[in-house]
Amino acid sequence: MTKRLLNMALILVVCAALLPIAANAATVSSGECGDDLTWTLSSSGTLTVSGTGAMWNYGFSSQSRSPFYGNQAILNVVIKNGVTSISDALFVSCTNLICVSIPASVLSVGEYAFFSCGNLKKIIYNGNEEQWNLLEVDSIPTYTIIEFGSCECGDDLTWTLDDAGKLTIDGTGAMWNFENASSTPWYGSRNQIKAVIVQNGVTSIGNYAFYGCTSMQSAEISGSVTSIGTCAFFNCSALRGVRIPGSVRSIGERAFAWCGALYDLKIEYGVQSIGVSAFSNCASLKKARLPGSVTSVALGNSCLTFDPNGGSGTMDSLLYGEPNATLPDSSFTPPAGKVFAHWEIGGEQYKAGSSVYVISPDTVAVAFWKDAPYTVTYDPNGGSGTMEPQGFADPNATLPECEFTPPQGKVFANWQVNGEDYDAGSSVYLISPDTVAVAFWKRIAYTVTYSANGGSGTMDSATVNDG
For 44, 145, 168, 340, 446, the CA distances from 165, given in Å and listed in that order, are 17, 17, 10, 50, 65
Indicate the residue type of 418. Answer: N
Q: Reduced to 3 DSSP states, what percent helix, strand and coil does the chain have, rounded to the nearest 5?
A: 5, 40, 60
What are 307-348's pLDDT values in tens digits?
Answer: 999 999 999 999 999 998 999 999 999 998 899 999 999 999
Contact 124, 158 (CB under 8 A): no
83, β-bridge pairs = 53, 81
Distance (Å, rounded) from C-alpha 462 to C-alpha 467? 15
The DSSP call for residue 335 is P
275 and 251 in contact (C-beta within 8 Å)? Answer: yes
Q: Round the CA-based radius of gyration of the chain to a whole number and report it.
A: 34
Q: Positive or negative, the Cα torsion across 420, 424, 427, 429?
A: positive
137-168 burial, b if ≥16 CB within 10 A, otherwise e?
A: bbbbeeebbbbbbbbbbbeebbbbbbeebbbb
Instruction: Tell me if the pTM is above 0.85.
Output: no
How many CB atoms neighbour CB 433 within 10 A? Answer: 12
pLDDT value for 449: 87
Beta bridge partners of 194: none
3-class secondary structure, 16: coil
pLDDT in tens, the chain (467 residues): 333 333 333 233 333 333 333 344 567 899 999 999 999 998 878 899 999 999 999 999 999 999 999 999 999 899 999 999 999 999 999 999 988 999 999 999 999 999 999 999 889 888 888 899 888 787 788 888 888 877 889 988 888 888 789 999 988 899 999 999 999 989 988 999 999 999 999 999 999 999 999 999 999 999 999 999 999 999 999 999 999 999 999 999 999 999 999 999 999 999 999 999 999 999 999 999 999 999 999 999 999 999 999 999 999 999 999 998 999 999 999 998 899 999 999 999 999 999 999 988 889 999 999 999 999 999 999 999 999 999 998 899 999 999 999 999 999 999 999 999 999 999 999 999 999 999 999 999 888 888 888 888 888 887 777 65
AA letter at 147? E
**Residues ≥6 apart with Cβ < 8 Å to 207:** 177, 178, 179, 229, 230, 231, 232, 252
Q: Are 75 and 96 in contact (CB under 8 A)?
A: yes
Nearest CA-CA partner of 239 in 277, 273, 190, 174: 190
Distance CA 347, CA 318 (A): 20
Per DSSP, the residues of 47-87 read: EEEEESBPPPP--SSTTT--TTTT-TT--EEEEPBTB-EE-
367 CA to centre of own chain: 33
CA distance 173 to 253: 22
Nearest to 206 by CA among 181, 177, 179: 177
Please tell me the predicted confidence (pLDDT) of residue 466: 63
Chain CA centroid to CA 95, Å: 34
Cα separation, 91 vs 106, whole angstroms: 16
